[in-house]
Structure 1
Amino acid sequence: MKYTTIFFDLDDTLIDTALNSKQVLEEVYNDYTIDKYYPSFNDFYTKYQSINLHLWDQYEQNLISKEELKKGRFEQSLRDFTSISTEQSLEMNNDFMGRVSNKKNIIEGVENILEYLQPKYHLYIISNGFLEVQDKKIKNAGLDSYFKDVFLSDHVGKNKPHPLIFNYALKEANTTSTDCIMIGDNINTDIIGAKNIGIDQIWFNPKSMEDTSHIAPTYTVKTLNDIRTIL
């Protein structure tokens, strides 16, 4: 076998974070009577998503802190309608994160591909997600038994695609860049980050998005089951 070790991204590669977040946001929309400001949940969801994605992009580039992301997404989503304190926005965010960590939606085919890979490879997770929720998400989704360890940006102080988090994972997994491969859905954080330090990559691209980075991932798959043709 060419590889001995596989690094997986977590959110939207293994766990269906997009669906889990949307379900919880609708709960938050109802429980916090956000319909006073947005006439429909879809209006709120569209606004929140735009803000949240922008904040995550800034966070992954190390332009803002974790705390700024956590307080900013609800604060900015509501500031056109009402004044919301930092304490209130963090309370809402913490409630949101706690609920998301209990959701169990996973990407189609996850358990089958992990059952296939685990006997053949050492499996690890590399994630930019937050320490206080990622372990809970993995356990509640029933995926913890497949992985030898989880490496979070919170552990090293840098987010993917920064080389530091990948080098940290290589050291902790006692492997080299030529002996492992990275699987993830985010071309900018997972694929470019791995490529920059010489790790082969599998871009999980279920929506057939265009690779605007033009970096040519080592492999591209549309379903997790397609990984069987590579590994």
Structure 2
Amino acid sequence: MSYEAIIFDLDNTLLNFEMCERQAILGALEDCAVSLDLNEVSETIFLQVFETYNSQYWRQPETFSPSELIEMSYRSTLAQLDIQTDQISNLSQSFWHIFNHFGAMEPDVNEVLTVLALNYRLAVITNGFVSAQLPRMQAARIEHFFEEIVVSEAIGFAKPSPEIFHYTLSRLNLTPAEVLYVGDSLKHDYAGATQVKIDFCYYNRKNQNLPQEVKPKFMISDLLNLLELFN
């Protein structure tokens, strides 16, 4: 392959977002002595309700800070499940601390990055907050692999906006033809990369059927497949 660099998405491509979030949601409850058992609520139900509110509130990241968004999610979840506590602010702080220091990765990430780094320049483009994304990469001990780590908050543009891809290309001093982008999201990663004519490798981690109009350059279900493609 003639690529000079491989650029990765972060969440659910390199880091397992669902596992990190689950650890933070339940870990904060434990830290703040909020017992689901005493309230006869299962972990599964709590997670489902929390994630429903959380996904709703995180559509407003420009309006609220991360801690405020998490606090709103706990407050709404606890109210719906009729769980009484005066620890909501502490729950938010605990969640954010755990989430930012828990580096659960997708399978084989270290091996894949170690091998690819021998022949390719590596970078990351991720939506999110600098205060979360960089510490999580550090917790996973993968930040040293990457020449550039571009976080949407830092530059004011988020995927699928073409600006965040153009910015990263300029930082690498490369053209779209010299880069491959690897990500798990058709909405953010595929749409953004294809807008700027960057070849896209779809990490189809859940083996979903693709819409007929979606045509990534490559598709993998396991990150180790990258080594078969490029080494």
TM-score, reference length from structure 2:
0.86
AA of the residue aligned to 1:174: N
Counting only pairs closer than 5 Å after superposition, residues 161-180 of structure 1 correspond to structure 2 as 161-180=160-179
In structure 1, the residue matched to 2:52 is 50
1:117-128 to 2 correspondence within 5 Å?
Answer: 117-128=116-127
* Separation in 2, partners of 1:97, 1:158: 23
Q: CA deviation at 1:45?
A: 0.3
Distance 1:90 1:128 in 2: 25
Give percent identity, aligned residues only: 24
Q: Count matched residues.
A: 226
Match of 2:17 in 1: 17
The letter for the 2-side match of 1:229 is E
Q: Structure 1, residues 67-116: CA drift from partner, whole Å, max 9, x if none?
A: 5644443233234347999xx75653332121122213211111111111
Q: Secondary structure of the residue that 1:201 maps to in structure 2?
A: strand
Deviation at 1:64, TM superposition (A): 5.7
Q: Which runs of 5+ in 2 are unaligned?
A: none
Cα root mean square deviation, aligned? 2.5
CA drift of 1:154 comes to 0.8
- Distance change (3 Å), C-alpha of 1:216 and 1:73: farther
Return closer, same or farther for 1:221/1:136 CA change in 2, 3 Å cut-off: same
Residue correspondence of structure 1 range 1-231 to structure 2 within 5 A? 1-32=1-32, 33=34, 35=36, 39-56=41-58, 58=59, 67=66, 69-80=69-80, 81=82, 91-212=90-211, 214-231=213-230
Return the index of the structure with the highest Cα Rg.
2
Report the CA distance between 1:210 and its aligned residue. Answer: 2.5
Query: What is the letter of the counterpart of residue 101 of structure 2?
Result: N
Instruction: Tell me how far apart the structure 1 counterparts of residues 97 and 212 of structure 2 sit (CA, whole Å).
Output: 34
Q: What is the Cα deviation at residue 198 of structure 1?
A: 0.9
Residues 72 and 106 of structure 1: CA distance in aligned 2, closer, same or farther (over 3 Å): same
Label 1:154 to 1:117 Cα distance change in 2 as closer, same or farther (>3 A). Answer: same
- Cα 1:54–1:144 change in 2 (3 A) is same
Segments of 5+ residues of structure 1 without an aligned counterpart are none
Q: Residues of 1 paired with 2:84 and 2:162: CA distance?
A: 39
C-alpha deviation, 1:214, in angstroms? 3.4
TM-score (norm 1): 0.86
SS of corresponding position for 1:125: strand
Deviation for aligned residue 1:23: 1.9
Following superposition, the deviation at residue 3 of structure 1 comes to 0.9
Contact 1:9-1:127 at 8 Å conserved across structures: yes
